[in-house]
Structures are given as structure tokens and as C-alpha cells.
């Protein structure tokens, strides 16, 4: 069976990236417009993860809180209604 996409059907490709320095998510590499602020606002679920600013070393990163336990982040972004999603995180 051959899959065919109708000419009038819109396909959007989105890329979300996270910048630890600004603690913000950006869409499609456009860094002047923040998609979401704060790493945990873009996470569906997380455990044992903290935001660590290391000002003396001029670095910022996400790290596990307890070094004896693994940490994880699960992301989920809903593009059905981006305005509604963004407002729910504010």
C-alpha cells in the first residue's frame, strides 16, 4: 500500500531545544523567542534532577540531585494548540 499525502494537508516539523544558560526552551532554533522558561516547565515528568548554576566556572547544567540515584526527564510537547499550552505553563 502506497501512502499518499494530499496536497492541501499541512505538515509542520518542530524542533524544541533547551538552553541551560538561559534556562529556556526554544522552537526551531529561534533563540530570540522563548517558547518556555524554566527547565521543569517543559518536563512532563522528572525525578532526581536539579538546575545547577556553577557561577565560579561560568557553567550551568542539569544534574542528578543524589549522585547515588539515576535521574531522568520525560518531555512531551503538544502542538495541537500551542497558545493554550504556553499559557498553561505561565
Arithmetic mean of pLDDT, 46-69: 85
**Mind giving me the DSSP string for 7-64?**
TT-------EEEETTTTEEEETT-TTSEEEESGGGGEEEEESEEEEEEGGGTEEEEEE
pTM across the whole model: 0.59
Contact 20, 6 (CB under 8 A): no
The Cα 84–Cα 39 span in angstroms is 19
For the chain, what are the domain ranges? 16-89
* Tens digits of residue pLDDT in 3-53: 555 555 455 567 888 888 888 888 887 888 888 889 898 889 999 998 888
CA angle 29, 17, 60 (to 5 degrees): 115
Amino acid at each position: 500500500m502506497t501512502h499518499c499525502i494530499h496536497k492541501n494537508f499541512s505538515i509542520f516539523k518542530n524542533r524544541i531545544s533547551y538552553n541551560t544558560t538561559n534556562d529556556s526552551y526554544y522552537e526551531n532554533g529561534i533563540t530570540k523567542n522563548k517558547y518556555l522558561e524554566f527547565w521543569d516547565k517543559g518536563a512532563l515528568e522528572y525525578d532526581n534532577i536539579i538546575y545547577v548554576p556553577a557561577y565560579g566556572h561560568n557553567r550551568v547544567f542539569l544534574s542528578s540531585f543524589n549522585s547515588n540515584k539515576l535521574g531522568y526527564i520525560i518531555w512531551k510537547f503538544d502542538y495541537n494548540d500551542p497558545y493554550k499550552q504556553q499559557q498553561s505553563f505561565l
